[in-house]
């Protein structure tokens, strides 16, 4: 159930972990307003049932291209291994990461059935970061669940650097998954595992005993 809810979160947001929009104007001048803006745009796309699934996927992809830095989040997920990768490996990794994001959107979009996001508070973590707390409401009798967004102001822009769904950091979870694969099978093993996921095969290299 927890994984299903986190999947719905990603579908509702229409984005991975990093989102960027200009931090200008009163409506965009606060992290909570930024989260509200991004969520509203994605939810409008998801709710457009007069469009085909492929059209909505394409529109979410365009939203991602306009409002996200996928290369940055890919580097954050890979962590210190980014510096150890060759230029060819880095290029292949970024390509596969983007394909994985598209596959994730396509896999989750059909799960949207009217969820809405309510902003319930925010607090500053330090001079750069703010945590914005939200409740994601489902339909029927399903209880809402909490999602916290860590927002950073950077060079006149806001960006989400982590999403914590029901206490689970998506950035840390994905980083650990990738680190475990690299530590047992190397960067080439990670690239092979990512390629299998893109192709729909979930098997990943096993750690050596």
Is there a contact between 97 and 69 (Cβ–Cβ < 8 Å)?
no
Model pTM? 0.73
CA proximity to 89, closest of 99, 100, 75, 76: 75
End-to-end Cα distance, the chain: 32
| pLDDT above 80: residue 46 | yes
Fold of 2-198: Nuclear Transport Factor 2; Chain: A, (3.10.450)
- The CB density around residue 41, as the number of other CB atoms within 10 Å, is 19
Q: At what angle do helices 87-108 and 53-67 cross, to 10 degrees?
A: 140
φ/ψ of residue 56, rounded to 5:
-70, -40
Domains of the chain by residue range: 2-198
| pLDDT above 80: residue 202 | no
pLDDT 10s digits, 52-89: 888 888 888 877 666 666 788 899 899 999 999 999 99
pLDDT 10s digits, 89-108: 999 999 999 888 888 777 77
CA atoms of 90 and 124, how far apart (whole Å): 34
Residue 179 is predicted with a pLDDT of 96
Helices first, then strands: H and E counts in the chain: 7, 6
């Amino acid at each position: 159930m927890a994984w299903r809810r986190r999947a719905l979160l990603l579908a509702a947001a229409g984005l991975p972990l990093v989102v960027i929009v200009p931090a200008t104007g009163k409506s965009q001048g606060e992290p909570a307003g930024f989260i509200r803006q991004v969520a509203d745009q994605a939810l409008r796309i998801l709710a457009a049932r007069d469009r085909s699934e492929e059209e909505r996927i394409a529109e979410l992809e365009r939203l991602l291209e306009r409002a996200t830095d996928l290369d940055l989040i890919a580097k954050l997920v890979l962590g210190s291994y980014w510096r150890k990768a060759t230029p060819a490996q880095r290029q292949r990794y970024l390509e596969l990461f983007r394909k994985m994001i598209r596959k994730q959107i396509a896999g989750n979009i059909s799960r949207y059935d009217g969820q809405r996001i309510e902003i319930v508070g925010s607090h500053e973590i330090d001079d750069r970061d703010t945590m914005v707390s939200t409740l994601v409401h489902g339909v029927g009798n399903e209880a809402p669940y909490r999602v916290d967004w860590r927002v950073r102001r950077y060079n006149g822009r806001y960006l989400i650097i982590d999403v914590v769904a029901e206490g689970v950091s998506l950035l840390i979870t994905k980083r650990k998954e990738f680190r475990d694969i690299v530590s047992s099978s190397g960067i080439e093993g990670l690239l092979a595992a990512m390629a299998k996921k893109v192709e729909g095969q979930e098997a990943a290299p096993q750690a050596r005993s």
